[in-house]
Amino acid sequence: MPEEKPKKVESLAKRVENLGKEMPPERDVIRDKVRDETRDAARDAARDAARDSARDAVRDASIQELLEKGRSHIDNREYDKAIACFKKILESNPKHLFAYTNLSSAYRLNGDYEKSAECLEKVLAINPDHADAQSGFGWIHLSKEEFGKAIEVFEKVIENHPNCSHAYNGLAWVHYRQGNFDKAIECWEKVTELVPGFENAYISLANAHKQKTISNAEDYHKQGLFLKDAGIEGELDEDKRGAALCFYLGLTHTKEGDYAKAIDCFKRAIELDPGTSINYTYLSQAYHEIGEHDKARECIRKAKELEK
């Protein structure tokens, strides 16, 4: 009997060892539970992120569509419809700054300057340094024909934000409305540098050049009419003075809308005096009026070369 006792002890030890293998320690149970919960949480998070991403994509597409519709309504002067589009965006995203600035423009163009200013204030409450919102107050002054105040606002914005095309565009319109066509042209040229694809800036620039031509033509009209009535057009290519006379006569033909004759006069002026840039400038305008835009651009390029 005494010899069998060690065997029982050994058997009990094995049983304890086996029991440990069959029933993992508590820490292992916790580890496995944490691992499973972490895996499930990651899976749920990925699923939620995918769902949210899809929802945001739909929402962003809807907002973009409303923005485009709103801008289209503004272009068509349907300001009430534009206002409805931008307000709908803000219902779902109250901090959409671009919607606020566009809503401000729609209100301004519709003559509601108070609501236009309120929209700008909301933008600045979110972002005090928002250049387009700051410029918006200049546009309100411009619409109210408060040109001095408008210039003050636009110049201040440009001082703090030298690349703000919205401010340059507004300043150009102030100068244009005041008849300062050279300054307007300078501002719109800056706009085209900052935003090369801004089609309206090129149209405005062309109109400014045209108005400048007409304005200058007024100054020379009487002298040009005298030359025309005197019947001395055939004698104008004799000397340097002839170049100036051709130029004056070309301006008169421009004013009368006879662009073919104007082109002939400016070209003769250039033949006699090829170093004077103004001949190329007005030749460009005449080409522009008959749709010869490539020739018009080449003349402008040449004029700028001579001005250097």
> Are residue 301 and residue 231 in the same domain, yes or no?
yes
Structure tokens at 62: 């809807």
Question: What's the CA gap between 301 and 62, in Å, rounded?
Answer: 44
pLDDT for res 250? 84
Among candidate residues 47, 65, 43, 44, the one with its CA nearest the CA of residue 55: 47
Write down which residue in 197, 221, 242 finishes a domain. Answer: 197
End residue of a domain, out of 145, 170, 197: 197
Per-residue burial over 186-202, b if 16 or more Cβ lie within 10 Å, else e, is ebbebbbeebeeeeebe
Establish if 152 belongs to a structural domain. yes
- The whole-number pLDDT of residue 136 equals 96
Give the pLDDT confidence score for residue 234 in this predicted structure: 45
Do both 220 and 288 map to the same domain? yes
Give the CA dihedral 97, 98, 103, 105, nearest 10 degrees: 120
Q: Report yes or no on 261 lying in a domain.
A: yes
- What is the reported pLDDT for 215? 62
Do 136 and 189 fall into the same domain? yes
Contact 260, 292 (CB under 8 A): no
Residue 267 lies in a domain: yes
Mark whether 78 and 144 lie in a shared domain: no
Judgement on whether residues 216 and 303 belong to the same structural domain of the protein: yes
Query: Is the same domain home to 169 and 232?
Result: no
Task: Report the CATH number at residue 62.
Answer: 1.25.40
Query: Same domain, yes or no, for 66 and 97?
Result: yes
Which positions ≥6 away from 32 have C-beta within 8 Å? none
Q: What is the CATH number of the domain that holds 258?
A: 1.25.40.10
Same domain, 106 and 140: no
Asked if residue 100 and residue 141 are part of one domain, the reply reads no
User: What gap in Å lies between CA 284 and CA 237, rounded to an integer?
Assistant: 21
Flag whether 28 is in a domain. Answer: no
Longest dimension (CA), the chain: 154
**Same domain as 240, residue 151:** no
**Per-residue pLDDT in tens (0 to 9) along the chain, 308 residues:** 445 444 444 454 555 455 445 445 555 555 555 566 666 666 666 565 555 444 544 456 688 888 889 889 988 889 999 999 999 999 888 889 989 999 999 999 999 999 999 999 999 999 999 999 999 999 999 999 999 999 999 999 999 999 999 999 999 999 999 989 899 999 999 998 998 888 888 878 877 877 776 665 555 444 444 444 444 444 444 455 667 777 877 887 887 788 998 899 899 889 888 888 888 988 998 998 898 888 988 998 898 888 87
Are 217 and 276 in a shared domain?
Answer: yes
Domain boundary at 197, 223, 252, which?
A: 197
Long-range (24+ apart) CB contacts under 8 A made by 174-178 are 174/142, 174/147, 174/150, 176/204, 176/207, 176/208, 176/211, 177/142, 177/145, 177/147, 178/147
Domain-embedded: residue 203:
no
The number of domains in the chain is 3
Residue 175 tokens, joined: 């100068």
Task: Please tell me whether residues 294 and 264 are part of one structural domain.
Answer: yes
From CA 186, how far away is CA 95, in angstroms rounded? Answer: 35
> Could you tell me the residue range of the domain that residue 173 belongs to?
129-197
172 located within any domain: yes
Question: Could you tell me if residue 10 is inside a domain?
Answer: no
User: Per the domain annotation, does 33 fall within a domain?
Assistant: no
